[in-house]
Structures are given as C-alpha cells and as structure tokens.
Amino acid sequence: MSRGLRFGTAAAVFLVSSVMLGEWKLLGSRKVDRKGERDEIAVTVARGGFKRLKLTVTGAGVEFANVHVIYGNGEPDKLEVRQNVAAGGETRAIDLRGHDRVIRKVVFWYKTEGAGKARATVSAWGFD
C-alpha cells in the first residue's frame, strides 16, 4: 500500500469518526458567587441540535443540585444532576430531550465548596 493511500484512509477515518461522534461546544460560562444558590448561563450559540449537556468547573468546587435547560420556545428540560464536582472537574454527560432545539439558557442550583476567596467558574458545554 502506498503512503498516500494510507494517509488518505487515515484522514477519511478521522473525518468520519469526528462527524459521527460529534464534539463538545462551549455554550457559555458564569463566575458564580460563593453565597449564591442559583445562577444561569445565557447561551449565545444560535443553532440547536445539542444532544447532551455537561458542566465544567474551575477555581473552586461546586455541588450541583438541579439544572434546567430552557429552550428557545421557553420550555424547560428539568435535569436532576446531584453531583459534587471538584475544581478542574466536570459533570457526567446528561442527555437532553428532543432534537434540533435551540438552547436559550442553562439555570443551575448549587453550593460553592471550599474556604477562602476562590470563586468557581461554571461552563456549560453542548454535544452535537
């Protein structure tokens, strides 16, 4: 097999895998208050089609209770996350209802962990 054919085959497999597997896209981020119990991330991505959601945390750990995904038509998708996420960690991937739905915002209830002045930043990611 020639080198060009092997490279072309590998590139095709990578391209097909990427399309079939999708990718995580940043929907938005929010620096959360240590005293807060509820916050939201306004989503600026204009198109829908996300199948899963995950939240990442930096700065300080966060204990998530519930997460509501609010779609473009105002309908909420109420998700029970109930997960403690250390700084630098992320929630599990959470399946979303429906297909090709625009996400307007992600609302979450939480407690910030740890002592000191470190504030957590929560980022919402959508998988298409």
- Rg of the Cα atoms in the chain: 18
Query: 22-127 falls under which CATH superfamily?
Result: C-terminal carbohydrate-binding module (2.60.120.1380)
Domain boundaries, the chain: 22-127
Average pLDDT, rounded, for the chain: 82
What is the pTM (predicted TM-score) of this model?
0.78
Residue 101 has a pLDDT of 74
Q: Which tens digits make up the pLDDT trace of 33-78?
A: 877 799 999 997 666 778 899 999 999 999 999 999 999 888 999 9
* In the predicted structure, residue 27 carries a pLDDT above the cut 90: yes
